[in-house]
Amino acid sequence: MAAAALRPDAAGAALPADTAARPGHNTWMSAVVRWLFIGVSLAFLAALLIAPVATVFAMALARGLEVYLTSFADPDTLAAIRLTLVNAAVVVPLNTVFGLAAAWAIAKFEFRGKSVLITLIDLPLAISPVIAGMVFVLLFGLHGWFGAWLLEHDISVIFALPGIMLATMFVTFPYVARELIPLMQQLGNDEEEAAITLGAGGWMTFFRVTLPRIRWGLLYGLILCNARAMGEFGAVSVVSGHIRGLTNTMPLHIEILYNEYNFVGAFAVASLLTLLAGLTLVVKTLVERTGYRGR
């Protein structure tokens, strides 16, 4: 039998000549591999994301829509919802201002300690939120460094709203800065320098030149910061004191209701938090499609 004809491949190795005559073979294999990976990804999402979310709503509505809606009439539940929204409404703007200032300083200037500032911005992403809460207790608690002074002046930080805001600010402040720093570095300083050369002041340059160029990145970081602020549990749990109706945010209130075997109430609040998270994802997707990822 005659030996099969051979042809060299790109590397010079001899391959059967009929391999080139089977273009559908590689296409079929690519399709199988593609759908295999898609199937694995969908199965993973179904097990770790879709099933838990569906369970939350199924448990929340287990006793009917009327009981579900009645769960939100509880004064402690309303207080937890209000505290979560107020906390996010204060923390997110403050972290946005910090993120803008830090990104501007890091991207536009060279100064001593720049690498230290970048490291500190990344710090909350590297340590446990529980440790962050403990740090604030050691600083502002009754037996902390500033505890005696705060007690003398009748100022409450730990087990009060200020402590909750400080803990939330700590774990969320990297998001805006980390989104803006690479964006500002990529855009460079040419347009700002041109505006200043033409006589524009610092504030006019910022609002007319810099801000329009970074608006999508700023909004993207703000969305991520807000999502983390509403869902934060660890740091807030340490500093809140779990006082019902006063210092319980929605995640903390969910834990209390669940431990009291009020499953419908717990999953009802969890479903509201899930809807808020879903709304955040929708806004995030719209921002990406509108122009952020296409910058």
pLDDT tens for the chain, 295 residues: list them: 444 444 555 445 454 555 444 555 578 778 888 888 888 888 888 788 888 888 889 999 989 889 999 999 999 999 999 999 999 999 999 999 999 999 988 988 888 888 888 888 988 888 889 998 999 999 998 888 998 899 888 989 999 999 999 999 999 989 999 889 888 888 888 887 788 888 877 788 888 888 888 888 888 888 889 989 998 999 999 999 888 889 999 999 999 999 999 999 999 999 999 898 888 878 877 777 775 544 4
Taking each helix axis from N to C terminus, what angle separates 75-108 and 114-126, rounded to the nearest 10 degrees? 150
| Cβ–Cβ < 8 Å for 229, 92 | yes
Which of these, 92, 114, 120, lies nearest to 176 by C-alpha position?
A: 92
Q: What is the pLDDT of residue 160?
A: 92
Q: What is the pLDDT of residue 5?
A: 47
* CATH number of residue 143's parent domain: 1.10.3720.10
> Is the dihedral angle over the CA atoms 234, 240, 241, 244 positive or is it negative?
negative
Q: What is the pLDDT of residue 248?
A: 94
| Cβ–Cβ < 8 Å for 60, 267 | yes
* Number of separate domains in the chain: 1
Q: What is the pLDDT of residue 291?
A: 58
Q: Which residues contact 89 (CB under 8 A, 6 or more apart)?
A: none
In a domain, 274, yes or no: yes
Query: Helix or strand or coil: residue 6?
Result: strand
In a domain, 44, yes or no: no
Q: What is the pLDDT of residue 202?
A: 75
In a domain, 264, yes or no: yes
User: pTM for the whole thing?
Assistant: 0.80
In a domain, 45, yes or no: no
Q: What is the pLDDT of residue 16?
A: 53
In a domain, 169, yes or no: yes
In a domain, 143, yes or no: yes
In a domain, 43, yes or no: no
Which of these, 238, 264, 265, lies nearest to 253 by C-alpha position?
A: 265
> Is the dihedral angle over the CA atoms 120, 121, 127, 133 positive or is it negative?
positive
125: containing domain: 64-289
Q: What is the pLDDT of residue 195?
A: 82
**Residue 74 and residue 71: Cα distance in Å, rounded?**
6
In a domain, 241, yes or no: yes
From residue 184, how far is each of 124, 212, 216, 236, 286 by CA, in Å? 22, 12, 12, 32, 22
